Amino acid sequence: MERAQQMPAADTGPVEEVERFDAIIIGAGVTGLYALYRLREHGLSVRAFEEGSGVGGTWYWNRYPGARFDSESYTYGYSFSEELLQEWDWSEHYAGQPETERYLNYVADKFDLRRDIQFHARVVSAVYDERAHRWQVHLADGSRARAQFLITAVGLLSAHYIPDFEGLDSFQGAWCHTGRWPAEGMDLAGKRVGVIGTGATGVQLITEIAKEVGHLTVFQRTANYCAPLRNGPIDPDTQRQIKASYPDIFKRCNETAGSFIHKFDPRSALEVSLDERLEQYERLWAEPGFKKWLANFYDIMLPGPANEDYAAFVRQKIRERVKDPVVAEKLVPKDHMFGSKRLPCESGYYEVYNQDNVLLVDVREAPIERITPTGVKTRDAEYDLAVIIFATGYDAVTGALNRIEIRGEGGQTLKDKFAKGPRTYMGIQSVGFPNLFTINAASVGNFVRAAEPLVDWVCDCICYVRDHQFTRIAPTSEAEAAWTQHVAEAGAKILRTQADSWFVGANIPGKARFLLTSPDTAPVMRAKRAEVAAKGYAGFLLQ
């Protein structure tokens, strides 16, 4: 920690109708709810602003049919309250969206969080008052609020992205993006439906709606490696076992790179015999969830021959499930490495393409040219549709921040500063934006497992600042430059940066290519943050 000259920083801001708090949180999803709980526990006055009408964030907005965990339900829930852990029964190994939304509502009620959350409250700007060391936020309804600390718990994947297709305004049918699925649902039964996008979301959605639509056209640009989820109900015995072993479950999650419960096999895929290798591939393939990915030979997650060997195995699994060999070949990924994107887990996805009423259109071969009043026109054909669903993903991490005009010291905007990629210290803070904690950029993997310790760290940091009579904390330029360089250099070596995906901003035309999350494993990140805190917030400037 560097101690700069201390300045008096009473809140001498404008005296008009502005509500004042110690901390403001933007977003009442998984991270925002926990930050609210934690900061309030520390005795701070807190207000969370949430655009939606309810809590849940991702699990509030993503109401599309088929939305579901790929983490085991009991590894995803909060760990901070033993009472909560014992009270809540997850009904399935991989819970669906309605259950997760119910869970987050239960948490909000149990800990009386709603009294400090303002719903239907869209924050349009946040401006730093350099004299008072306070943030002033402006809401869409014209109201304002001030706080010393601002936490953007706006989510990693919340700024939904709809490609700029010409003609969407002219479409006479119904359309929506999966991340803004209407609460009342979409009427798809018997209709001609088109889905654009075959990422994790599209895969879940397509599998579910294929059961009820009249005809389904899937517009695929890139085929994905998908693996069977093998979901099932949690029986009472298993429920008891889970509740008795939460400390062990969380300990195991905390030991792994992505905070999932699965631990890599320390052997190389190439050091065992072919028979042994195939036996393991098959055995894990038959298991639920990410085990077939994250409990496999460690080097299938490194660019190289082991990765390619497993990719070939997965491609063959896809071919075996699709009757028409031409369609099968279109569904087999050939242009990116296995695991370079998050593995979509499915429950009958490939069999959908064996249905007579389902058509797969390769839009890499024949790109979408425009939306017409009656459907979609590609270079080669026109498709008549009553409904178009965009499963086209998100402007990840920076997209959600950019939707808010965040102005720091000297009037600079965070959007300008992050134009070539986020420049932060550990993903948490950025020079020129004191007392702002951009925590949506800092956790990845099994989300809640990574988010809880991060929020704990931020709350402890805020308490440290206050307890030591400082009023302002921001990283040093040196710490920020070193971290940004580390993200670029270490990021270049990992599998996640090798594909054109949201991880590196490659899904958004014109967005700078830069790893948007930390290149380090979860245990390494926790250790780095702990060391920084132990050294009195080394790399930060406190005033």
Neighbours of 92 (CB within 10 A): 15
393 near ligand NA7, judged by CB under 6 A: yes
Choose one: 34-42, 199-207, 284-292, 460-468; the region binding ligand NA7 (CB under 6 A): 199-207
Cβ of residue 164: shortest distance to ligand NA7, in angstroms?
Answer: 8
Positive or negative CA dihedral for 18, 55, 107, 71?
Answer: negative
Q: Is 196 in the site for ligand NA7 (CB under 6 A)?
A: yes
Retrieve residue 291's tokens: 């085990």
> What's the rounded Cα separation, in Å, for the pair 200 and 195?
13
- Please, are residues 404 and 140 in contact by the beta-carbon 8 Å criterion? no
Q: Which is nearer to ligand NA7, 223 or 541 (CB)?
A: 223
502 binds ligand NA7 (CB under 6 A): yes
The residue among 66 and 393 lying less far from ligand NA7, judged by its C-beta, is 393
Token pair listed for 131: 């004299």
Q: Is 363 in the site for ligand NA7 (CB under 6 A)?
A: yes
By CB under 6 A, which span of 214-222, 373-381, 422-430, 484-492 interacts with ligand NA7? 214-222
Task: Figure out which of the listed residues 221, 263, 330, 415 binds ligand NA7, where binding follows CB under 6 A.
Answer: 221
**Is 198 an interacting residue with respect to ligand NA7 (CB under 6 A)?**
yes
When asked if residue 516 is in the footprint of ligand NA7 (CB under 6 A), the reply is: no
Pick from 57, 197, 339, 422 the residue near ligand NA7 by CB under 6 A: 197
Helix or strand holding residue 73 (H, E): helix 73-76
Report the distance separating Cα 58 and Cα 81, nearest Å.
22
Pick from 342, 423, 449, 529 the residue near ligand NA7 by CB under 6 A. Answer: 342
| Structural tokens at position 240 | 């008891």
392 near ligand NA7 (CB under 6 A):
yes
Determine contact, residues 181/55, Cβ cutoff 8 Å.
no
In the complex with ligand NA7, the residue whose CB is nearer, 105 or 507, is 507
Smallest distance, Å, CB 376 to ligand NA7? 10
Q: How far is CA 370 from CA 69, 164, 244, 289, 378, in A?
A: 33, 9, 55, 37, 7
> Pairing state of beta strands 382-384 and 144-152?
unpaired
Please tell me whether residue 201 binds ligand NA7 under the rule CB under 6 A.
yes
Place of tokens 């609460």: 183
Q: Give the CB-nearest residue to ligand NA7.
A: 199
- Here the tokens at position 179 are 């991340």
Q: Is 163 in the site for ligand NA7 (CB under 6 A)?
A: yes
What are the beta bridge partners of residue 358? 216
CB of 528 to ligand NA7, least distance (A): 24
Q: Tokens 């994107």 label which residue? A: 341
**Long-range contact list for 170-175, CB < 8 A, 24+ apart?**
170/371, 170/372, 170/373, 171/371, 171/372, 171/373, 171/374, 171/375, 171/388, 172/373, 172/374, 173/374, 173/375, 173/385, 173/386, 173/387, 173/388, 174/386, 174/387, 174/388, 175/387, 175/388, 175/389, 175/390
Binding to ligand NA7 by residue 65, rule CB under 6 A?
no
Indicate the residue among 9 and 366 with the shorter CB distance to ligand NA7: 366
> Residue 337, interface with ligand NA7 (CB under 6 A)?
no
Site membership for ligand NA7, residue 507 (CB under 6 A)? yes
Smallest separation (angstroms) from ligand NA7 to the CB of 369 = 11
Phi, psi for residue 313 in degrees, rounded to 5: -60, -45
The least distance separating ligand NA7 from the CB of residue 448, rounded to whole angstroms, comes to 14
CB of 517 to ligand NA7, least distance (A): 11
Near ligand NA7 by CB under 6 A: residue from 199, 289, 399, 519: 199
Q: Closest CB to ligand NA7 among 105 and 222? A: 222
Structural tokens at position 26: 């933007």
- Residue from 368, 406, 454, 458 binding ligand NA7 (CB under 6 A): 368
Q: Report if residue 289 touches ligand NA7, rule: CB under 6 A.
A: no
Total of residues contacting ligand NA7 (CB under 6 A): 20
Question: Contact between 391 and ligand NA7 (CB under 6 A)?
Answer: yes
Q: How far is the CB of 519 from ligand NA7 (least distance, A)?
A: 17
CA dist 14 → 132, 133, 194, 434, 494 (Å)? 10, 13, 52, 19, 48
- SS3 of 140-207: the string is CCCCEEEEEEEEECCCCCCCECCCCCCCHHHCCCEEEEHHHCCCCCCCCECCEEEEECCCHHHHHHHH
Q: Which of residues 108-147 bind ligand NA7 (CB under 6 A)?
A: none
200 part of the interface to ligand NA7, by CB under 6 A: yes
The footprint of ligand NA7 (CB under 6 A) covers 157, 163, 196-202, 219, 221-222, 342, 363, 368, 391-393, 502, 507
